[in-house]
Chains A and B, each alone.
Chain A
Amino acid sequence: MPDLTLDGRPLHVAAGTSVAAALALGGDGCSRTSVSGQRRAPLCGMGICQECRVSIDGRRRLACQTLCRDGMQVETRP
């Protein structure tokens, strides 16, 4: 049962939860902020649309294609 950090707050999720699901469970559902300042969220859920780009442990990942793991640091801002 992974314990991760989402924008600085602890979050406990069930095993097998994707980061995209974790965003919906523990945050505002969004993965990032666009150039024009809009919050953006997962759309296609299958790794194509690139909307769910998020920073995980300092690297850019697709939230819908990444499973939550213990100790993960997920950042959706800025």
Chain B
Amino acid sequence: MSSTTAADVIVIGAGIIGAACAQSLAARGLRVLVLDAGLHGATAAGMGHLLVLDDNPAELALSQYSLQRWRELAPRLPEACAYRSNGTLWLAANAEEMAVAEHKFNVLQAQGVTCELVAGRAVRQREPALREGLEGGLLINDDGILYAPATAGWMLETTGIDQRRARVSAVEGNRVRLDSGQWLSAEAVVLANGIQAVDLCPELPIEPKKGHLLITDRYPGTVTHTLVELGYVTSAHNASGPSTACNIQPRPTGQLFIGASRQFGTTDPAVEGWMLARMLKRATEYMPDLANLNGIRAWTGFRAASPDGLPLVGRHPQQDGLWLAVGHEGLGVTTAPATADLLSAQLFDETPPLAACPYLPDRFLGALAHA
């Protein structure tokens, strides 16, 4: 089995994670070959919401650092990337959720995240389309949005990156076998292909979480911030059965993205009417006038979820030359620049810009078996 040296690094997956890793490595002067099978991945299906999340300190550190990196990249992003720093308004429907908002406010403010509590009626002054009677909210000012497929495409135009449409059928350390049977090798192989990673490395603890999304026709803009219910944190996020949560994102075109749903144990991409209906009903409970808008498309996607909700970024402990950047669940667009920085630093044996430990694959795959 002879293999051809194809590049310094081969990246599998041209979604936002693979693209960000490729861009980071190419910027260091490496020749990078990006292989992509052309499947409909999470980057193409998701909302492109850039947000700070604080379910645990490692998630907060990763998302906060990565948002800072997006803000640094923003001036260079082409208009097609549709980057906007429009903020996230977390919505509290009752006193319990408002207590969660206040807790989040304290945690985020202590970490230097710009945010403000919005009480009672002030919520509708910020977002007049919301229903009356909400308890309040938490505005995270520096959160944003972008159009991830265009952004990944822009990253992949970086000098030093070659792209090829090819399905990888096997990975062995620093070598990959294409569908054609050809073997390619490089100094390092980076696996960044989301839920498909388990096809190549069955030992990875990654589970698909199905989500539905709908986009409306273009209407005169009535929504400013991305609106997310705090029930997302208090109930839906922790449920094991199918769940929905209100998530409304204004697009620069005047369209609205409406989400979100979660389902486990399925890889069927079909839009399921009952789930879509449940999701839309939930959104109209927060914004009744949504019911008068036309939806023009609905689709599904799969988040690549790890058991602890954090990505796996670093070397594969049992396969010399294989590096992992997978398991980002619903936060891959947010955390792509941080992932790329973490991965590059480890590949170059440098001190990463934030502690790499919580994201190391070793936590699931065991200790390093090679030096």
User: Which residues does A use to contact B, with CB under 8 Å?
Assistant: 35, 50, 53, 59-61
B296 in contact with A53 (CB, 8 Å): yes
B294 in contact with A60 (CB, 8 Å): yes
Complex: how many Å from CA A60 to CA B297?
15
7 contacts between A and B (CB under 8 A): A35-B218, A35-B253, A50-B296, A50-B297, A53-B294, A60-B217, A60-B294
Q: Please, which residues of chain A bring their CB within 8 A of the CB of B218?
A: 35
Minimal beta-carbon separation of A46 from chain B (angstroms):
15
Q: Please, which residues of chain B bring their CB within 8 A of the CB of A61?
A: 294
List the 10 closest A-B pairs by CB distance, nearest first: A50-B296, A60-B217, A60-B294, A35-B253, A53-B217, A53-B296, A50-B297, A53-B294, A35-B218, A60-B219
Complex: how many Å from CA A51 to CA B296?
9
Q: Please, which residues of chain B bring their CB within 8 A of the CB of A60?
A: 217, 219, 293-294
Minimal beta-carbon separation of B295 from chain A (angstroms):
9
Complex: how many Å from CA A67 to CA B219?
23
The residue on B at minimum CB distance from A62 is B294
Q: Which of B185-231 contact A (CB under 8 A)?
A: 217-219
**B296-320 vs A: 1/0 string, CB under 8 Å?**
1100000000000000000000000
The residue on A at minimum CB distance from B295 is A50
Complex: how many Å from CA A16 to CA B294?
24
The residue on B at minimum CB distance from A50 is B296
Minimal beta-carbon separation of A59 from chain B (angstroms):
8
Complex: how many Å from CA A35 to CA B82?
13
Q: Of residues B219, B292, B296, which shows the largest number of chain A Cβ atoms within 10 Å of its Cβ?
A: B296
Q: Please, which residues of chain B bring their CB within 8 A of the CB of A59?
A: 292
The residue on A at minimum CB distance from B251 is A35
Q: Please, which residues of chain A bring their CB within 8 A of the CB of B219?
A: 60
The residue on A at minimum CB distance from B296 is A50
Complex: how many Å from CA A59 to CA B291?
13
Q: Please, which residues of chain A bring their CB within 8 A of the CB of B217?
A: 50, 53, 60
Complex: how many Å from CA A50 to CA B214?
14
Minimal beta-carbon separation of B142 from chain A (angstroms):
26
Minimal beta-carbon separation of A23 from chain B (angstroms):
17
Q: Please, which residues of chain B bring their CB within 8 A of the CB of A50?
A: 217, 296-297
Complex: how many Å from CA A60 to CA B218?
9
Q: Which of B276-297 contact A (CB under 8 A)?
A: 292-294, 296-297
Complex: how many Å from CA A60 to CA B292?
9
Q: Please, which residues of chain A bring their CB within 8 A of the CB of B294?
A: 53, 60-61
Further contacts, 11 of them, CB under 8 A, given A50-B217, A60-B219, A61-B294: A35-B218, A35-B253, A50-B296, A50-B297, A53-B217, A53-B294, A53-B296, A59-B292, A60-B217, A60-B293, A60-B294
Q: Which of B227-277 contact A (CB under 8 A)?
A: 253
Minimal beta-carbon separation of B124 from chain A (angstroms):
24
Complex: how many Å from CA A59 to CA B293?
9
Complex: how many Å from CA A35 to CA B296?
15
Complex: how many Å from CA A61 to CA B296?
11
Minimal beta-carbon separation of B214 from chain A (angstroms):
12
Complex: how many Å from CA A60 to CA B219?
9
Q: Please, which residues of chain B bring their CB within 8 A of the CB of A35?
A: 218, 253
Q: Please, which residues of chain B bring their CB within 8 A of the CB of A53?
A: 217, 294, 296
Complex: how many Å from CA A53 to CA B294?
10
The residue on A at minimum CB distance from B216 is A60
Complex: how many Å from CA A61 to CA B297?
14
Q: Of residues B219, B293, B294, which shows the largest number of chain A Cβ atoms within 10 Å of its Cβ?
A: B294
Complex: how many Å from CA A13 to CA B155?
52
The residue on A at minimum CB distance from B297 is A50
Complex: how many Å from CA A50 to CA B215?
12
The residue on A at minimum CB distance from B293 is A60
The residue on A at minimum CB distance from B218 is A35
Complex: how many Å from CA A61 to CA B253?
18
Complex: how many Å from CA A59 to CA B219?
10
The residue on A at minimum CB distance from B254 is A35
Minimal beta-carbon separation of A34 from chain B (angstroms):
9
Complex: how many Å from CA A50 to CA B296?
6
Minimal beta-carbon separation of B183 from chain A (angstroms):
43
